[in-house]
Amino acid sequence: MAESVDIQALIDGDRRVLGQAITEVENDSPAGREALDALFVYSGRSHLVGVTGSPGAGKSSLVNQLALRFRSLPSEERVKVAIVAVDPSSPFTGGAILGDRVRMRDLSGDSGVFIRSMASRGTLGGLSRKTSAVVQVLDAAGYGLIIIETVGAGQSEVDIARLAHTTLVVEAPGMGDDIQAIKAGILEIADILVVNKADHPMADMTMRALRANLDLAQPQQFSVVERLHHRNMAFEPVAIPDLKNDVDSMEFWTPPIFKTVSTKGEGIDPVVEAIRNHSAFLKRNGQWHQREAARLQEELNDLLFTAFATQWRRSIDETLVAAVVKALMERKISPYQALDQLMGKNQR
């Protein structure tokens, strides 16, 4: 612990150093922060692909199959593949069972694949707070494709879309009626939709519901700044000029829907092709840079919020906090009054 990370060894492909560096970053140790600073210039080259969907939809099996296919591409197109698989931490003990590797045994023995399991460590939203930093380390280590598998997600665990260039939403058959399909949230973030377990009798119904929803959608592209305005930002989002402003010639991406049976490896090739097409699409339209710009600003924003809270906690008089909280518990003051008192505003 706490020795500094050998950056050169990591860049040169030392997998032991990579594994240890990720631990330091995940624990937010001084060595981890130092490594992130040094590695930042080497990052920004990987295609980040998110895979999300409800628990048991078959995300891990699909990720296993995708990684296998990407690794069997012709050598001039083949890149190293990293997988970051997030599972939930217990809200009571902080412990976790990380079981995604169980479905990924086909990938062992390939030194061009690196799989890392992460616990969510109290973060909601489907990722852990450190996922983006861990991805940055893998990016710098030369993994050209990084697949990020989220916690089994419900309706609003949409953080993955902020991190990834390409987001796959995996549905299992029988997920609900067509109203589920038009709700805001997880389906909205899909660049690619996959109905897994397609050998199930309900699969075609699910395909129909999803397709009907896509037909309702207006093709559009949201600019970076627009997206950030729906978040609580500590600073005014900085727009980067659109690389393409000519609306007439603007291309739109309509999310394709695929059927797969990942345990049998069926229907995987079209998904791989769609992932590659999406990457080309983003690059052609300047969207790649837009997404990166939005991600970096959001990351800075998150760091600012954490830093503000830490700084405030260091500066505040603990006895005042205790007194205010006590008054709140006794319902003598409201939460907003407590806030005012703690922030040093005049009592109302």
User: Minimum Å distance from CB 111 to other proteins?
Assistant: 9
In whole angstroms, what is the distance from residue 179 CA to residue 121 CA? 32
User: Nearest-CA neighbor of 157 among 195, 131, 138, 179?
Assistant: 131
Instruction: Pick between residue 124 and residue 217 the one whose CB is nearest to other proteins.
Output: 124
Instruction: Pick between residue 102 and residue 323 the one whose CB is nearest to other proteins.
Output: 102
User: Minimum Å distance from CB 157 to other proteins?
Assistant: 20
User: Minimum Å distance from CB 121 to other proteins?
Assistant: 7
Instruction: Pick between residue 23 and residue 221 the one whose CB is nearest to other proteins.
Output: 23
Instruction: Yes or no: say if 51 and 149 are a contact pair by the CB < 8 Å rule.
Output: yes
Residue 276 identity (one-letter amino acid): R
User: Minimum Å distance from CB 68 to other proteins?
Assistant: 16
| Residues 6+ away with beta carbon under 8 Å from 88 | 96, 119, 120, 151, 152
In whole angstroms, what is the distance from residue 204 CA to residue 227 CA? 33
User: Nearest-CA neighbor of 35 among 136, 121, 120?
Assistant: 136
Instruction: Pick between residue 19 and residue 174 the one whose CB is nearest to other proteins.
Output: 19
Count how many residues are written for the chain. Answer: 348
Structure tokens belonging to residue 6: 């050998």
User: Minimum Å distance from CB 100 to other proteins?
Assistant: 9
In whole angstroms, what is the distance from residue 127 CA to residue 121 CA? 9
**DSSP character at residue 266:** B
- Which residues sit at the interface with other proteins, rule CB under 8 A? 1, 15-16, 19-20, 22-23, 27-29, 89-90, 93-99, 101-102, 105, 108-109, 114-117, 119, 121
Angle between helical axes of 15-26 and 30-39 (0-180°, round to 10): 120
Q: Which residue has the tokens 């205790």?
A: 322
Instruction: Yes or no: say if 164 and 126 are a contact pair by the CB < 8 Å rule.
Output: no
Instruction: Pick between residue 111 and residue 245 the one whose CB is nearest to other proteins.
Output: 111
User: Minimum Å distance from CB 125 to other proteins?
Assistant: 18
Q: How many CB atoms lie within 10 A of CB 29?
A: 17
Instruction: Pick between residue 29 and residue 263 the one whose CB is nearest to other proteins.
Output: 29
Instruction: Pick between residue 24 and residue 171 the one whose CB is nearest to other proteins.
Output: 24
User: Minimum Å distance from CB 85 to other proteins?
Assistant: 10
